[in-house]
């Protein structure tokens, strides 16, 4: 879910941002990071990967949907290569699975 929102911010920035990404430019620029931060995502400027688990408005929305944050201490993260956000698979896991 984090990745989905991350990609939507890219879409927002390309369509409505003041500083959309152009070829050869930093992909996750200041405007992108600031928009993400306002939503609770914490991408690293330039690189794009997330520095910590999403919180703020994103976490509130997830909780309203009944999705609890992943327990990162268990470190059961599925290998996903070098995606921009390693947390999303855990966020996307069915909440029912953990209630069994």
Chain residues binding Zn ion by CB under 5 A are 48, 84
Nearer to Zn ion, 41 or 84 (CB): 84
Query: What's the closest the beta carbon of residue 86 comes to Zn ion, in angstroms?
Result: 13
* For Zn ion, the closer CB: 39 or 84: 84
DSSP secondary structure code for residue 28 in this structure: B
Question: Closer CB to Zn ion, residue 68 or residue 80?
Answer: 80
Contact 67, 61 (CB under 8 A): no
């Amino acid at each position: 879910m984090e990745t989905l929102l991350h990609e939507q911010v890219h879409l927002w920035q390309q369509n409505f941002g003041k500083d959309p990404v152009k070829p050869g430019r930093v992909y996750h620029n200041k405007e992108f990071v600031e928009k993400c931060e306002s939503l609770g995502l914490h991408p690293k400027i330039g690189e794009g990967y997330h520095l910590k688990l999403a919180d703020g408005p994103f976490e509130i929305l997830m909780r309203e949907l009944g999705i609890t944050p992943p327990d990162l201490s268990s470190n059961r993260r599925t290998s996903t290569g070098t995606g921009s956000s390693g947390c999303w698979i855990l966020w996307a896991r069915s909440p029912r699975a953990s209630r069994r």
